[in-house]
Amino acid sequence: MSDAILRLRDAAFQYDGAEDRAVDGVSLDVAPGEFLAILGRNGSGKSTLARMLNALLIPTSGAVEVGGIAVSEENAYAVREICGMVFQNPDNQIVATVVEEDCAFGLENRGVPPEEIRRRVDEALTEVGMRERALASPSMLSGGQKQRIAIAGVLAMRPKVIAFDESTAMLDPVGRRDVFELARRINREEGVTVVWITHFMEEAVRADRVIVMDRGRIELEGTPREVFSNVQEVLALGLDVPEMMKLARDLRAAGLDVPMDTLTVEEMAEELCKCGA
Amino acid sequence: MMNVTIGQFFPGDSFLYRLDPRTKLILTVALIVLVFISRSFIGFALIFLFVLWCAFSTKIGLKYMLRGLKPLFVIIALTFALNLFLMRDGETLARWGVIQITTGGVRTAVFMAVRLILLVLCSQVLTLTTSPISLTDGMESLMRPLSKIGFPAHEISMMMSIALRFIPTLMEETEKIRRAQMARGADFESGNLIQRARAMVPLLVPLFVSAFRRADELAMAMEARCYHGGAGRTKMKQLRFHWRDGAAVGAIAAMYALMIAFNALGVA
């Protein structure tokens, strides 16, 4: 892929004083408009990887290119304009005391003219469905709403890529679904490339491509179907397999002819109907 | 969710609320100077009339404003008593040993007390009608010229607004930790002052640890959004002066003229 928006070549990162490299030689291409999910247990290096995409961390060896720009100390701001980031804790990434002011923060940092900021903030808040709360105080919002504000703040900067670092981990199920669906919509409708780091298999299942990391390396890679059919390997990497795949395995053990790679409830219902017929 | 009022802001919408925060800051300072300039009760009456207008044009009401005097009651009473008993000027009205009350003493005591009360009321007009955010904006904008000589104007206002942003968050967290520690048998209510202060340790330690973690994450998030200090930064909301700012300046200037006239004529 020559037109990859994210290109990693043997990228590695070692924290000061750490014995092992947190990311240990990752090579990866991400196409524009792709929805890539990254899975892995705690400490597998997935957050470190995401932080290199935003130049918060500079690779200690190897190369990371974002939109054709090499991630380095000098290019940090150029890289951040291409790749935005949404973090895990909704409280700790909101800067301002008013929703719309927070949304404007990134654009103000970049010195965008006030009228232009106004326009883009209104657009972004409409996009995430928070326009009517523009003047609210973030402390009065739910976790899911705060994450939507954080997304609006990133969207207003019109990045080509957004990295979500476990952005749904601290939310309740409703907020989690809202935020995930919003990310999917931004990906489908705006064509923004999404790197979605998560612990939740039911989210990874709906990505275009899944990579599973362990000890700083990519262990499995492919479409969700390909990755999750390696049930034993996925479990060995400290992850879960989607509920429906577990059910499929148990049903097969019980003698029903259900394909191993059944991922969603809808697919399972269809397969079971076939079995019944 | 706890009901946290930050500062004393009293939400509303009127002439005073719509004034530019910079105008309000400067005029409040001017008003405080005016209180000090006044040498007569007529002068104080003039300022008090202005405070009354502020209280009623904003629906805040004088009663609410007077509540702000409570914490200063002791200081006002002390100043009053000291002036009353120690000042020796004019005729003696009463005497107990070294202590004596004179007519001059009574006048000075009342005068100083009124001055203190007016100082508080005037500064309250500012804090009651200006939200903390526009107050920080106004201060940043006024301090900006100072940044040329190395004064960290932007940094100070950024710190203030982050502090404002995190007060409710940290309050909520304190409450959560307090409950968690109480569930583990912590006792915050009984014992003497020292015991109670010691009981706060299991509350403060986790709170500090978490505050530092939050600060770290927030710094990361700000950096991810291209934050690099105040240089080259723009603002979505621009402060703009309106006709009403001119009117307010005119009103205060008129009060100055009257005050100077009162002083020159030597009215009581």
- Per-residue pLDDT of A97-140, as tens digits, reads 889 999 999 999 999 999 999 999 999 999 999 999 998 888 88
- Per-residue pLDDT of A191-203, as tens digits, reads 999 999 998 888 9
CA distance, residue B21 to nearest chain A CA (Å): 17
Domain assignment of residue B8, yes or no: no
Q: Which domain holds residue B67?
A: 15-142+242-265
The residues that bridge with A218 in the sheet, in sequence order, are: A213
Is the separation of the CB atoms in B6 and B136 below 8 Å? no
B247 shares a domain with B174:
no
pLDDT bucket at A258, cuts 50 / 70 / 90? confident
Least confident of A99-103, A120-124, A155-159, B90-94: B90-94
Q: Total domain count for chain B?
A: 2
B136 shares a domain with B19:
yes
Select the residue of A94, A110, A118 nearest B165 (Cβ to Cβ). A94
Assigned token pair, A42: 């705690």
Is the separation of the CB atoms in A154 and A100 below 8 Å? no
B74 shares a domain with B24:
yes
Residues of B with CB under 8 A from a CB of A: 1, 132-133, 161-162, 164-165, 168-169, 172, 213-214, 217-218, 220-228, 232-238
Kindly state the DSSP code that residue A74 receives in the 8-state scheme. T
Select the residue of A89, A111, A140 nearest B234 (Cβ to Cβ). A111
The overall average pLDDT reported for chain B is: 88
Q: Do A157 and B225 touch (CB under 8 A)?
A: yes
B220 shares a domain with B157:
yes
Domain assignment of residue B94, yes or no: yes
* CATH class as words, domain A31-58+77-236: alpha beta
The verdict on pTM exceeding 0.95 is no
B119 shares a domain with B76:
yes
Is the separation of the CB atoms in A161 and A5 below 8 Å? yes
Mutation target vs A (from B9, B166, B173, B234; most A CBs, 10 A cutoff) = B234
In one-letter notation, the amino acid at residue B22 is: R
ipTM of the complex: 0.86
B180 shares a domain with B92:
no
Query: What angle (nearest 5°) sits at the alpha carbon of residue B171, between those of residues B165 and B174?
Result: 140
B54 shares a domain with B179:
no
CA distance, residue B187 to nearest chain A CA (Å): 29
